[in-house]
Structure 1
Amino acid sequence: MEDKAQFPPVNPVSVGLSGKCPRCGQGKLFDGFLSVKKSCSACGLNFVFADSGDGPAVFVIMLVGFVIVGLVLFVELSFQPPIWLHLILWLPLTVVLAAAVLRPLKGLMIALQFKHKAEEGRLDAPAASKDEA
């Protein structure tokens, strides 16, 4: 059953990063830290389509890794601290940055998935051969 209600277009980047519903921009997208709600409390959109998979984690690894590796190299080449100081500095910073970036990126991926009507790939039914026709 297709929903016939009209909703004004929302910016998928702003609603995704803020964790709001990708259709109305009002209801919350997340139930916990990363678990997606069953439906929007404002417009009733069913979030069964929301499957971001490992996409947000990949972007978190790339973004946070780039920042941390750059900082580690800068500190090592400038100050040459002992290894224990590196561990004390970079392990907590990595965890904090990853946790801070993961939820907004997951919301963004789900909002873009909704905007572009992205679905799981399916194979088409094989076409009948000319001999069978």
Structure 2
Amino acid sequence: MPAKPPAGSATASAERETWPAVWRGFRRRCPSCGNGPILRSYLKVRDHCPVCREDLHHHRADDGPAYLTILIVGHIMAPALLWVFTTWRPEPLILITIFLIGCIGLSLYLLPRLKGAIVGFQWAREMHGFAREP
């Protein structure tokens, strides 16, 4: 865990809080101001926020959002599949159709939001060039 700056320093008063930044990123908003859009298309992160001009090109989300999406969708849909199958015993074609649509829809919903959350986390923790300049 990084050491906190002294109480009298200028950076102590402007400490970046992690969870608000992650939540703003999940809402696909700038982690700094919470107003500007963080994405310019489905998964492309803007170079800077159009509202507060915060640089966002430092992010290194890479494969993190895809892994988190697979993890979350798998943990939701696998038990649901087992429960639906054991409770109602639907026809296999109906079961696969419903769960394919559910998996694809949930994945498409979560992927850009998790990418924003990861960028917000990196911004709050001052990772990969998001650090303040002295």
Unpaired runs of 5+ residues, structure 1, are 1-5, 121-133
Matched-pair identity in % = 24
Unpaired runs of 5+ residues, structure 2, are 1-12, 130-134
Q: Secondary structure at the match of 1:12?
A: helix
TM-score by length of 2: 0.77
- The 2-side partners of 1:88 and 1:26 are apart by 38
Q: Secondary structure at the match of 2:57?
A: helix
Deviation at 1:19, TM superposition (A): 1.1
Over alpha carbons, which structure has the higher Rg? 1
Matching of residue 37 in structure 1 with residue 43 in structure 2: no
The aligned residue for residue 64 of structure 2 is: 55
Map residues 1-133 of structure 1 onto 2, 5 A cutoff. 11-119=20-128
Aligned CA RMSD, in angstroms, stands at 2.0
Give the stretch that moved more between structures: 55-64 or 44-53.
44-53
The aligned residue for residue 9 of structure 2 is: none
Higher relative contact order (CA 8 A, sep 6+): 2
TM-score by length of 1: 0.78
